[in-house]
């Protein structure tokens, strides 16, 4: 894994060092890195942008190479892991680390004794053994490239809200604000930010012209082919990123249901709808009671999954224990429940941000075998009709090939008979 670019003209100070170690402690105990960092920065509003960048890069830098760093320093403290990262990448002088309380001589000895060739392929790739073995079977020699791509920093992708503007207008407004962007190679309403910026401070963001959304996620929504006036269900809506994309496809005309069992995540959708100027969405938390009797033209199931495809953005997610049998059972159950809401002739899109066949094609094939009233559409042909070249009966987006997060999607259709 390549080291981050040094931050020229800035030093590492005790406050940065202490905060990075404290946040990393929390993350290694099971908390989400982005949430921990946001909370820490909220409590320290006087901390400047360079300080925040140092803290963020130390935390994510360790997480992106955690297995190798642990092999170097053992199951030591967060401070040992941060120090090994900085000393190995030569981003901070040994004297500076020494002044922060690091035993540099002992650490140098450990790094010198480390033999990288003694690591397994999974350790070098910073991937749990069982997942790396599954990738070797599934992707062959490309497993190494896939794992390497997942250790890189993800780009910032935006979706242009066509209810407010077109892509050229959004690009011009961002350029005027000093934000350099390029059009995404696949998604027709996507923009990719050249370098990170505080987008939430821009009028174009506050006015709902743009919404952060990975290009791959935008393509999943496109597979729905949601039309104005239709009835559409986002069955596992979460915080509503794809709900917003579907509403724009529908030109805010028709009925779009945003359902999820997690009321906390759904609560984040309402202000996003208001900012985007969307009125066609009805939000509902699904509980143990009966689901609404709705027959829809299209249903999207973005199922709970291992999230292996999002590791660029959430490197700490690879630390979580994976109970794949329980997860695939849940995915099959959710897909079967959602399918009951698809009218004859309607579309059903099953999607995950997983890179494992067990959660993707295997779920779809088992569903089709048990539900002969559904058939598989050609995802590649549907995208081709929108001018997007991603051939394949099912869509599989891979970070090392497509530059997106890892996503899978299959579009099914309910037969008319």
Q: Which residues make Cβ contacts (< 8 Å) with residue 180, sequence separation at least 6?
A: 174, 193, 194, 195
Q: Which of the following is catalytic: 21, 151, 305, 353?
A: 353
**Do strands 296-302 and 231-234 pair parallel, antiparallel, or not at all (unpaired)?**
parallel
Gap between the Cα atoms of 125 and 145, Å rounded: 9
151 is catalytic: no
| Token representation of residue 93 | 């002088």
Would you say 206 and 214 are in contact if contact means Cβ atoms under 8 Å apart?
no
Q: Where are the alpha helices (DSSP H) in 190-261?
A: 203-206, 215-223, 241-249
- How far apart CA 248 and CA 167 sit, in angstroms, is 13
The C-alpha angle 268, 195, 409, rounded to 5 degrees, equals 55
3-state secondary structure of 194: coil
Q: Which residue in the block uniquely carries the two structure tokens 């925040």?
A: 52
Give the up-direction half-sphere exposure of residue 43: CA atoms within 13 A in the CB hemisphere: 7
Catalytic residue set: 353
């Amino acid at each position: 894994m390549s080291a981050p670019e040094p931050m020229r003209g800035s030093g590492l100070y005790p406050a940065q060092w202490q905060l990075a170690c404290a946040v990393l402690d929390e993350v290694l105990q099971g908390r989400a890195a982005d949430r921990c960092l946001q909370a820490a920065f909220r409590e320290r509003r006087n901390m400047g942008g360079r300080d925040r960048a140092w803290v963020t890069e130390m935390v994510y830098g360790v997480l992106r190479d955690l297995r190798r760093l642990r092999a170097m320093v053992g199951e030591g403290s967060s401070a040992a892991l941060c120090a090994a990262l900085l000393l190995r990448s030569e981003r901070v002088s040994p004297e500076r680390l020494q002044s922060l309380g690091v035993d540099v001589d002992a650490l140098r000895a450990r790094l010198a004794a480390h033999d990288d060739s003694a690591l397994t392929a999974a350790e070098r790739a910073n991937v749990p053994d069982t997942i790396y073995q599954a990738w070797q079977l599934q992707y062959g020699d490309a497993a190494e490239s896939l794992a390497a791509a997942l250790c890189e920093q993800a780009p910032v992708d935006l979706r242009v809200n066509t209810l407010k503007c077109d892509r050229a207008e959004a690009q011009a407004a961002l350029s005027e604000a000093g934000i350099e962007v390029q059009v995404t190679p696949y998604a027709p309403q996507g923009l990719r930010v050249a370098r990170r910026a505080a987008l939430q401070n821009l009028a174009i963001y506050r006015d709902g012209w743009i919404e952060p959304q990975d290009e791959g996620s935008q393509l999943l929504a496109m597979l729905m082919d949601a039309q104005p006036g239709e009835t559409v269900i986002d069955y596992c809506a979460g915080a509503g990123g794809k709900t917003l994309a579907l509403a724009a496809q529908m030109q805010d005309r028709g009925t779009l249901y945003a359902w999820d069992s997690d009321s906390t995540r759904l609560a984040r959708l309402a202000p996003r709808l208001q900012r985007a100027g969307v009125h066609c969405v009805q939000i509902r938390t699904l509980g143990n009671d009966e689901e609404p009797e709705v027959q829809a033209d299209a249903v999207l199931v973005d199922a709970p999954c291992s999230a292996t495809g999002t590791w660029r953005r959430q490197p700490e997610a690879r630390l979580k224990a994976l109970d794949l049998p329980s997860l695939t059972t849940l995915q099959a159950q959710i897909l079967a429940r959602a399918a009951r809401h698809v009218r004859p002739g309607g579309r059903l899109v099953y999607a995950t941000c997983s890179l494992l066949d067990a959660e993707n094609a295997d779920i779809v094939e088992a569903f089709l075998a048990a539900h002969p009233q559904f058939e598989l559409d050609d995802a590649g042909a549907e995208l081709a009709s929108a001018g997007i070249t991603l051939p394949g009966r099912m869509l599989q987006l891979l970070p090392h090939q497509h530059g997106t997060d890892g996503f899978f999607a299959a579009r099914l259709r309910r037969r008319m008979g």
